[in-house]
């Protein structure tokens, strides 16, 4: 079947119904008219929405909209990053009357969301990630994302105070810039407590591989790591395995403290509720939605889990002080003098990169003190 | 937490521990599939059975508080899936491979559907026996914490190997698998034997799933399986339909799977994608080295639809 003549089932139904008077009257106009007063917002997740991780963070943001007057939400989970997501978007638009859609996974953007942007110019699409570009992409598309590196820095501060072996562990999915920044931030946070601390990283190669994540956690603890954090889609397995071995945990994406209340120190969480409310407020007010939205801890896009019972007094103090400084804005995690773990200079004396710095988005190094390799 | 620096010893230790921890689902699914294939049928649906077993074990363990009841539920669910496969396949002109694929998708989908409310709660784990208690190195203790299901799996492999050769039931299964005509001449009904063999195979796959959700990694999520059910079906061919071979192959895959993380943890960090591919490369090499264009695979049941 060639792309040009490919007709989705829904298009076919629409076309054939158009012939019948009944079809034209009921299928096209009244639905749109009835929905004009209230807006429907669609959310699409790549995994289960209660995964204690990436998808749960988005679903919690979506759930925060449920009380907003005039807004109804539709959600679909476990949608693969294939043509399936296009079908999901079409059905949200045609059947549920969605006028704003949030496809939350990285791989939804190109070509799937872009195809839908062209097909439905009246519908707004906002993709989680940083891929929207004014020169290349349509104006009914857009990107939103958060800077969570400082959250991992704060994780590191608490981990640095808690570790006895001076070895931390990091279970990472893939060596992409955002993951590398999280690993580096975690270690630098810990080194702000004690410069002798090292962090061992293990890459599993995939965003979600339960057994390999468990093996990686065990291997880190076997090598002496006593505080573990991670950057995978669902930290549940890492948290439970580490707690089972008696190690402490710093969380990621969402709050995992119910899984290990005694061993959970704190965690870097997304606060998508804030972002989604912002979009929806604009939608209700009839204002144009921003195309490019970003923010970090100070902007409320990211938050920290409440400190757990194992966090000591000194850790608590430094955590609060660092957090207060970050909230003022302009805090830099990556600042000179700083070397990569291969010895290359990544920041010279006096050089500092704030979280919005464009250089950080092409990070391809692990800083000195991280044991691991990007390839 | 006490730690001891074990350095490079971590790698063999992780492989040993990994072989024990990771291999158990492979053992049960491949033993189950070995029984089914020895009777002349292929059940590709075991991946679905595994996932459904994982879900039902977790759900029942959450509701009753007993992991053993969860295990029983997984086995029963697996039995039902297996019997269903066996029942459909007794009709003429039904392709067992196609039914298997359908059941794989059905089992996974059904598990996701019923499993929704059980992702968040925590279930009690199956017990493990601390064989490492003699050592005061915590890493050794952790590696030698052996789950009872692993031991049952090992015993089962030996038992099946013996039973296929030495018991009447074993002979019946093998006859049906090698020649349906000979079986009929003996007064056996091949369909009944295969129905039961597929049922038992399904029950074992369900137990494999219970291990995933109730012990290692020990939680129910929709991504709990990373294709163990499918890999185990391939392991059976790799092991030449020999239960002891299945056990060895499962250990090999478990140990090889632990190699990548263990090497990274001691600082061998280059090329980890290659280490992750190690078990599959090994399989390919062995398959190529032992295959021959002039004869069928040694030990292959004659009635199997892929060898006919």
pLDDT digits (tens, 9 = 90+) for B14-57: 888 888 989 999 999 999 999 999 999 999 999 999 999 999 99
Which of A10-19, A116-125, B254-263 shows the lowest per-residue confidence on average (mean pLDDT)?
Answer: A10-19
Computed over every residue of chain B, the mean pLDDT equals 89
Asked if the C-beta of A348 comes within 8 angstroms of chain B's C-beta atoms, the answer is no
- A21 pLDDT more than 50: no
Query: CB contacts < 8 Å between A and B, how many?
Result: 132
Question: Is 80 exceeded by the pLDDT of residue A310?
Answer: yes
- Please check whether residue A261 touches B, CB under 8 A: no
Do the domains A14-31+38-146 and A149-269+304-371 sit in the same CATH topology, yes or no?
Answer: yes
Nearest to B208 by CA among B85, B43, B49: B49
> Which residue among B142, B218, B225 places its CB closest to the CB of A240?
B218
For tokens 């195979």, name the residue: B201
Using alpha carbons, select from B48, B59, B177, B162 the residue that is nearest to residue B119.
B59
Residue A165 contacts B, CB cutoff 8 Å: yes
Distance from CA of A216 to the nearest CA of B (A): 5
CA A15 to chain B, closest CA, distance in angstroms equals: 32
C-alpha span between A2 and B165 (Å, rounded) = 56
Q: Which CATH architecture has domain A149-269+304-371?
A: 3-Layer(aba) Sandwich (3.40)
- Which site among B4, B257, B261, B268 would you substitute to test the A interface, given the most A Cβ atoms closer than 10 Å to its Cβ? B261
Q: What is the mean pLDDT of residues A85-111?
A: 93
Q: What is the pLDDT of residue A258?
A: 92
B1 contact residues in A (CB cutoff 8 A): 164, 226, 245-247
CB B146 within 8 A of CB B23: no
Confidence of residue A165 (pLDDT cuts 50, 70, 90): very high
B 50-89 near A (Cβ less than 8 A):
none
Tell me what the mean pLDDT of segment A144-164 comes to. Answer: 96
Q: Which residues of A touch B139 (CB under 8 A)?
A: 222
Nearest alpha-carbon partner for A89 in A48, A58, A117: A117
Q: Which of residues 107-136 of B touch A (CB under 8 A)?
A: 112, 116, 119-120, 122
Instruction: Determine, for residues A240 and B120 on separate chains, whether the beta-carbon distance falls below 8 Å.
Output: no
Calpha distance A53→A45 (Å, rounded) = 12
The residue ranges of every structural domain in chain A are 14-31+38-146, 149-269+304-371
Model pLDDT, residue A5: 46
Here the tokens at position B256 are: 């090889």
Per-residue pLDDT, A11: 56
State the burial class of residue A1 (Cβ atoms within 10 Å of its Cβ: 0-12, 13-18, 19+): exposed
Residue A245: list chain B partners with CB under 8 A: 1, 142
Task: Choose which CATH entry (3.40.50.970, 3.40.640.10, 3.40.50.2300, 3.40.50.11740) describes domain A14-31+38-146.
Answer: 3.40.50.2300
Instruction: Name the pLDDT band for B289 (thresholds 50, 70, 90).
Output: confident
Per DSSP, the three-state class of A42 is strand
- In chain A, the residue whose alpha carbon lies closest to the alpha carbon of B142 is A245
Task: Compute the CA torsion angle A166, A172, A175, A177 (nearest 10 deg).
Answer: -80
Give first-to-last CA distance, chain A, whole Å. Answer: 39
CA triplet B66, B71, B77: central angle to 5 degrees?
A: 125
User: Residues 189..208 of B with a Cβ closer than 8 Å to A: which?
Assistant: none
> B165-174, B222-231, B284-293: which range is least confident on average?
B284-293
pLDDT computed for residue B304 by the predictor = 83
| Predicted local confidence at residue B137, as pLDDT | 84
User: Which residue, among A158, A215, A40, has the nearest Cα to B10 in the 3D structure?
Assistant: A215
- pLDDT tens profile B194-243: 999 999 999 999 999 999 999 988 888 888 888 888 888 888 988 889 99
A373 touching B, CB under 8 A?
Answer: yes
Average pLDDT over every residue of B115-143: 85
- Interface with chain A: mutation pick from B223, B229, B259, B270, highest number of A CBs within 10 Å: B223
Q: What is the DSSP letter of A129?
A: S
Residues A108-128 have a mean pLDDT of 94
Q: Do A236 and B221 touch (CB under 8 A)?
A: yes
Four-residue CA torsion sign, A207, A209, A210, A213: negative
CB atoms within 10 A of CB A347: 18
pLDDT at A355 exceeding the cut of 80: yes
Mean pLDDT score of chain A:
88
Q: Is B166 on the interface with A (CB under 8 A)?
A: no
- pLDDT of amino acid B102: 95
Asked if A60 is an interface residue toward chain B (Cβ–Cβ < 8 A), one would say no
Please answer whether residues B21 and B254 qualify as being in contact, where contact means their C-beta atoms are separated by less than 8 angstroms: yes
A215/B257 Cβ within 8 A = yes
Q: Bridge-partner residues for A248, per DSSP? A: A227
Nearest chain B alpha carbon to A216: B261
DSSP state, residue A340: B
ipTM of the shown complex:
0.85
CA separation, residue A199 to residues A170, B32, B45, B204 (Å): 7, 43, 42, 41
Structure tokens at A25: 């009257």
Q: Residue A205: list chain B partners with CB under 8 A.
A: 260, 272-273, 276
* Cα radius of gyration rounded to whole Å, chain A: 23
Q: Any CB–CB contact under 8 A between B272 and chain A?
A: yes
Residue of A166, A218, A247 for testing the chain B interface, max B β-carbons within 10 Å? A218
Neighbours of A31 (CB within 10 A): 14
Q: A328 with A298: CB under 8 angstroms? A: yes
Integer Cα distance of A212 and A219 in angstroms: 10
Of B120, B217, B258, the CB nearest to A210: B217
| Residues in chain A closer than 8 A to B276 (CB atoms) | 205, 212
Whether residues B264 and A216 touch (CB distance < 8 A) is answered with yes
- Residue in B closest to A200 by C-alpha: B265
């Amino acid at each position: 079947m060639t792309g040009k003549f490919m007709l989705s089932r829904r298009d076919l139904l629409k076309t054939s119904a158009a012939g019948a008077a009944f079809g034209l009257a009921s299928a096209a106009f009244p639905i749109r008219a009835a929905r004009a007063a209230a807006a429907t917002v669609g959310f699409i997740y790549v995994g289960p929405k209660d995964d204690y991780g990436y998808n749960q963070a988005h679903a919690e943001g979506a759930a925060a909209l449920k009380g907003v007057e005039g807004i109804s939400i539709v959600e679909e989970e476990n949608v693969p990053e294939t043509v399936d997501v296009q079908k999901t978007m079409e059905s949200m638009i045609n059947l549920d009357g969605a006028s704003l859609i949030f496809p939350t996974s990285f791989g939804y953007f190109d070509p799937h969301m872009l195809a839908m942007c062209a097909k439905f110019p009246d519908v707004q699409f906002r993709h989680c990630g940083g891929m929207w570009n004014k020169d290349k992409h349509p104006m009914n598309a857009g990107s939103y994302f958060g800077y969570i590196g400082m959250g991992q820095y704060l994780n590191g501060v608490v981990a640095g105070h808690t570790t006895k072996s001076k070895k931390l562990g990091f279970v990472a999915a893939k060596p992409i810039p955002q993951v590398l920044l999280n690993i580096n931030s975690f270690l630098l946070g810990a080194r702000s407590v004690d410069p002798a601390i090292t962090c061992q990283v293990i890459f599993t190669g995939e965003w979600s591989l339960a057994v390999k994540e468990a093996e990686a956690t065990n291997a880190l603890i076997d090598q002496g790591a006593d505080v573990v954090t991670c950057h995978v889609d669902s930290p549940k397995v890492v948290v439970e395995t580490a707690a089972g071995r008696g190690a402490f945990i710093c969380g990621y994406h969402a709050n995992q403290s119910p899984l290990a209340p005694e061993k959970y120190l704190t965690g870097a969480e997304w606060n998508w509720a804030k972002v989604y409310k912002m979009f929806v407020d604009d939608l209700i007010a009839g204002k144009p939605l921003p195309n490019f939205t970003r923010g970090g801890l100070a902007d409320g896009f990211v938050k920290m889990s409440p400190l757990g019972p194992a966090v000591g007094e000194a850790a608590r103090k430094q955590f609060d002080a660092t957090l207060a400084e970050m909230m003022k804005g302009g805090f830099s995690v990556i600042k000179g003098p700083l070397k990569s773990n291969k010895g290359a200079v990544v920041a010279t004396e006096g050089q500092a990169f704030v979280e919005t710095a464009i250089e950080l988005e092409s990070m391809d190094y692990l800083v000195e003190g991280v044991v691991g390799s990007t390839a | 937490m006490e730690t001891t620096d074990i350095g490079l010893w971590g790698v063999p230790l992780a492989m040993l521990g990994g072989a024990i921890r990771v291999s158990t689902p492979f053992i049960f699914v491949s033993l189950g599939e070995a029984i089914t294939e020895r009777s002349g049928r292929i059940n590709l649906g075991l991946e679905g059975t595994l996932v459904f077993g994982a879900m039902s074990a977790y759900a029942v363990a959450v509701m009753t508080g007993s992991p053993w009841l969860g295990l029983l539920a997984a086995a029963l669910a697996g039995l039902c899936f297996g019997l269903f496969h066996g029942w459909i396949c007794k009709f003429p002109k039904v392709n067992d491979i196609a039914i298997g694929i359908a059941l794989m998708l059905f089992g996974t989908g059904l598990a996701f559907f019923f499993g929704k409310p059980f992702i968040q709660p925590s279930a009690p784990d199956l017990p493990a026996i601390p064989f490492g208690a003699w050592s005061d190195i915590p890493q050794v203790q952790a590696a030698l914490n052996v789950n009872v299901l692993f031991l049952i799996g090992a015993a089962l492999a030996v038992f099946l190997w013996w039973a296929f050769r030495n018991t009447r039931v074993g002979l019946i299964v093998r006859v049906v698998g090698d020649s349906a005509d000979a079986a009929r001449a003996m007064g056996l009904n091949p369909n009944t034997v295969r129905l039961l063999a597929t049922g038992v195979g399904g029950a074992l796959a369900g137990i494999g799933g219970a291990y995933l959700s109730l012990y290692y990694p020990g939680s129910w999520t929709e991504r709990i399986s990373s294709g163990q059910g499918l890999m185990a079906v391939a392991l059976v061919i790799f092991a030449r339909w020999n239960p002891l071979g299945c056990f060895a192959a499962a250990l090999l895959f478990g140990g090889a799977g632990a190699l990548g993380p263990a090497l990274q943890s001691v600082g061998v960090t280059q090329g980890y994608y290659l280490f992750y591919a190690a078990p599959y490369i090994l399989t390919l090499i062995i398959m190529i080295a032992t295959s021959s264009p002039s004869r069928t695979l040694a030990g292959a049941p004659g009635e199997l639809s892929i060898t006919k």
